[in-house]
Amino acid sequence: MDDATRALITHAVNNQQQSTVTVLSSLLAVEDAIGYIPKEAVDSVADRMDATINDVWAVATFYPNFRFEPPTEHRIEVCWGPSCHVMGATAIIAAALQTLDLADEGDTPDGKATLRYNTCLGACAHAPVIAVDHHLAGRITPETARAKIVASLSADAHH
Ligand code: FES
């Protein structure tokens, strides 16, 4: 871990604005700052909160949304909420899994992208919906989902 990341962790843990600082709020602050919870962050939160390392791990692993590995470059979210489900989310998920060479949500084998299922991306009127690198796309089809995912993965070549 580099010093800059270490500094971001310390800053996140020690500069929380809310009046009640908890183990969970501290972990969320770290996740917001660097996108995952490294071991160093667990140590730092334990220190700040006067908790044991085990207590902090217990909270961290209880919440399914924390990552323990650095984030990948691309994030693909497929909505499978009620509206999207009715409008064909199952086929969209299948297309996304196949395009990313995955059997379930998670990181791709090459570590470039992360697929997540979402219970509502907040655009139900446009179902089915996906978000590729935080850009929402509605009325998606398996073909357009595949095209958007491929486009985002190959966008790397330009920067
Ligand atoms: S259910 Fe998919 S965007 Fe709301």
Ligand 1 atom nearest to 82, measured from its CA = 1
Centre of ligand 1 from the C-alpha of residue 35, in Å: 24
Whether residues 79 and 151 fall in one domain: yes
Q: Is the same domain home to 78 and 141?
A: yes
Give the chain's domain count: 2
pLDDT digits (tens, 9 = 90+) for 73-127: 999 999 999 999 999 999 999 999 999 999 999 999 999 999 999 999 999 999 9
Residue 62 pLDDT grade (very low, low, confident, very high; cuts 50, 70, 90) = very high
Task: Judge if 8 and 29 occupy the same domain.
Answer: yes
159 vs 135, residue with greater confidence: 135
Same domain, 151 and 79: yes
94 and 35 inside one domain: no
State if residue 84 touches ligand 1 by the CB under 6 angstroms criterion. Answer: yes
Question: What pLDDT shows up at residue 65?
Answer: 82
| Ligand 1 contact, 130 CB (< 6 A) | no
105 within a domain of the structure (yes/no): yes
24 falls within a domain: yes
Cβ atoms of residues 138 and 123 within 8 Å: yes
Q: In ligand 1, which atom is closest to the CA atom of 128?
A: 2
Q: Report the 3 state secondary structure along the chain.
A: CCHHHHHHHHHHHHCCCCCCCCHHHHHHHHHHHHCCCCHHHHHHHHHHHCCCHHHHHHHHHHCCCCCCCCCCCEEEEEECCHHHHHCCHHHHHHHHHHHHCCCCCEECCCCCEEEEEECCCCCHHHCCCEEECCEEECCCCHHHHHHHHHHHHHHHHHC
Ligand 1 atom nearest to 84, measured from its CA: 2
* 145 is a domain residue: yes
Q: Are residues 51 and 81 in the same domain?
A: no
Output phi, psi for 31, to 5 deg: -60, -40
Residue 57 pLDDT > 90: yes
The structure's pTM equals 0.77
Residues 55 and 84 in one domain: no
Whether 68 is covered by a domain: the verdict is no
CA distance 77 to 147: 14
Query: 41 pLDDT exceeds 80?
Result: yes
Say if residue 93 is in the same domain as residue 140: yes
Domain interval for residue 55: 3-62
In terms of domains, do 52 and 80 share one? no
